[in-house]
Amino acid sequence: MKLLSICVETPTHELRVRGRLPKDESDSKVVFKIITEMIAEFDNLLKVKSEYVVKCMGSWVTSDHYYIQMELCSNSLQNILRLKPQVFGRQPEEPMNSIEFYISCHVFKEILECVQYLHQFYRPIIHRDLKPNNILVARDVKDSRYFKLGGFVHNWGFYTMTGRDMGAPEYQAPEVTNDIRYDHRVDIYSLSKIGEKIFDFNLNNESPQSYSSDNEELNKCVIKLREVLVSMALYPNWEDRPECKDVLKTYHEWVVSLRIQT
What is the pLDDT averaged over residues 154-171?
A: 52
The least confident of 76-80, 165-169, 172-176, 177-181 is 165-169
Q: Which residues contact 203 (CB under 8 A, 6 or more apart)?
A: 192, 196, 226, 229, 230, 233
Domain with CATH 1.10.510.10 in the chain: 75-254
Coarse DSSP helix, strand, coil percentages of the chain, rounded to the nearest 5 percent: 40, 15, 40
Domain with CATH 3.30.200.20 in the chain: 4-71
CATH 1.10.510.10 fits 75-254, yes or no: yes
In Å, what is the CA distance from 198 to each residue of 33, 86, 107, 152? 41, 14, 8, 21
Q: What is the pLDDT of residues 170-218, one digit of tens each?
A: 999 999 888 888 899 999 999 999 999 999 888 877 665 566 777 888 8
Indicate if the pLDDT at residue 229 is higher than 50: yes
What is the Cα 81 distance to its own chain's centre? 14
| Residue 49 dihedral angles phi and psi, to the nearest 5° | -65, 115
Better-predicted residue by pLDDT, 137 or 179: 137
pLDDT of residue 259: 64
The least confident of 3-12, 54-63, 115-124 is 3-12
Edge to edge, the sheet with strand 65-71 lists 4-9, 14-20, 65-71, 56-62
Q: CA 177, 151, 8 angle in degrees (round to 5)?
A: 140
Indicate if the pLDDT at residue 153 is higher than 60: no
In Å, what is the CA distance from 201 to each residue of 99, 132, 207, 211, 230? 17, 15, 11, 10, 10
Indicate if the pLDDT at residue 44 is higher than 50: yes
pLDDT of residue 203: 80
Better-predicted residue by pLDDT, 48 or 22: 48
pLDDT of residue 224: 94
Indicate if the pLDDT at residue 2 is higher than 60: no
Architecture of domain 4-71: 2-Layer Sandwich (3.30)
Q: What is the pLDDT of residues 83-114, one digit of tens each?
A: 999 999 998 778 888 999 999 999 999 999 99
Better-predicted residue by pLDDT, 135 or 160: 135
